[in-house]
Amino acid sequence: MHDKEEDVMSDNDKVVINLTTGHEDADKVTVAFLIGTAALAKGKRVTMFLTKEAVRIGLPGYAEAVEVAGAPPVERLFEQYVDGGGELFVCPICFQARRLDEADLVPHARLAGATPLMDWISEGATVFSY
């Protein structure tokens, strides 16, 4: 018989990827989307929490310009992520600090800060940070 903590751990199907960078560190963006698409392929529910400069990934066309030589294009990984059901939580404080317009967010992105993120992972999640 398993105790309750072990049951929660074994039933954990959520992954959170905290991404803090955009064009300034294409390697981190690429790795974040590689992890996200791999998790989705394994049947996990995935949310990418975009903070700092990464909030721009929630804007149309931004991912298209992120590329690392020898790696899959982020544009393709981004499409796979979205098509696989991946979500984007965009830090509202970071977004507003950059004077960006919420109306410009791509359809699968939404402003969601620490409280919605904590609500989403209330039963546990595997967390990656880049």
Structural domain count of the chain: 1
pTM of the model: 0.88
Angle subtended by helix axes 26-41 and 74-83, to nearest 10 = 30
Considering the domain boundaries, does residue 42 fall inside one?
yes
Q: Which of 21, 51, 36 is nearest to 114 (CA)?
A: 51
Considering the domain boundaries, does residue 4 fall inside one?
no
The Cα 49–Cα 36 span in angstroms is: 11
Residue 26 is part of a domain; what is its CATH number? 3.40.1260.10
Alpha-helix residue ranges (DSSP H) falling in 1-130: 4-10, 26-41, 74-83, 92-97, 114-120
Considering the domain boundaries, does residue 57 fall inside one?
yes
pLDDT value at residue 130? 94
Indicate the SS3 state at residue 84.
coil
Phi, psi angles (nearest 5°) of residue 62: -65, -45
pLDDT value at residue 12? 80
The Cα 97–Cα 90 span in angstroms is: 12
pLDDT along the chain (130 residues), means of 10: 41 91 96 98 97 97 91 94 97 97 95 95 92
pLDDT digits (tens, 9 = 90+) for 4-28: 444 444 458 999 999 999 999 999 9
Task: Give the burial class of 42: count Cβ atoms within 10 A of its Cβ; 0-12 exposed, 13-18 middle, 19 or more buried.
Answer: exposed
Considering the domain boundaries, does residue 52 fall inside one?
yes
Indicate the SS3 state at residue 88.
strand
- List of residues 6+ apart from 5 with CB closer than 8 A: none
24 lies in which domain range? Answer: 19-129
Considering the domain boundaries, does residue 99 fall inside one?
yes
pLDDT digits (tens, 9 = 90+) for 27-39: 999 999 999 999 9
Considering the domain boundaries, does residue 32 fall inside one?
yes
Considering the domain boundaries, does residue 1 fall inside one?
no
Considering the domain boundaries, does residue 107 fall inside one?
yes
